[in-house]
Amino acid sequence: MPHLHIEYTDNLTGLNERELMRELNAVVCAHPTVTDEADVKSRIARLTSFYIGSSPENRGFVHVQLQLMSGRSEQAKKEMSDGLAAVLRRLVPQPGDMLVQLSVDVADMDKATYFKGRL
């Protein structure tokens, strides 16, 4: 933990996955409530099958979900959410003929049931 899940529609050509993950990770790693940068685990999924609203042509999205161990303040979660959103606004391509939706969700993981081990 934290876990960073990124999904985006494959019609967003030109999205640099590696750069996006690096910049999103940097936001989370830099937050004072994250004590070990090696705990931040990210993955990205390019969605080839998606449908947006009732008229999906020329629409796309990027969604980021950050899962954090429960116990962080709303302020800390808001700071991370705002930082992640700023990265999306800066790095997601903006095709002129397309509506692109950006979203960030910060979710708590339950301490009682979460397992983490290292080998």
| Domains of the chain, each with CATH number or no CATH | 3-109 (3.30.429.10)
pLDDT tens per residue across span 13-68:
899 999 999 999 999 999 999 999 999 999 999 999 999 999 878 999 999 999 99
CA distance 38 to 2: 10
The tokens for 108 are 């708590």
* Secondary structure class of 34 (helix, strand, coil): coil
CA distance 18 to 51: 25
Residue 116 confidence (pLDDT): 79
* Secondary structure class of 100 (helix, strand, coil): strand
Spatial strand order of the sheet with 41-47 comes to 41-47, 3-9, 59-69, 99-109
Is residue 93 reached through a cis peptide bond, with omega within 30 degrees of 0 on the bond before it?
no
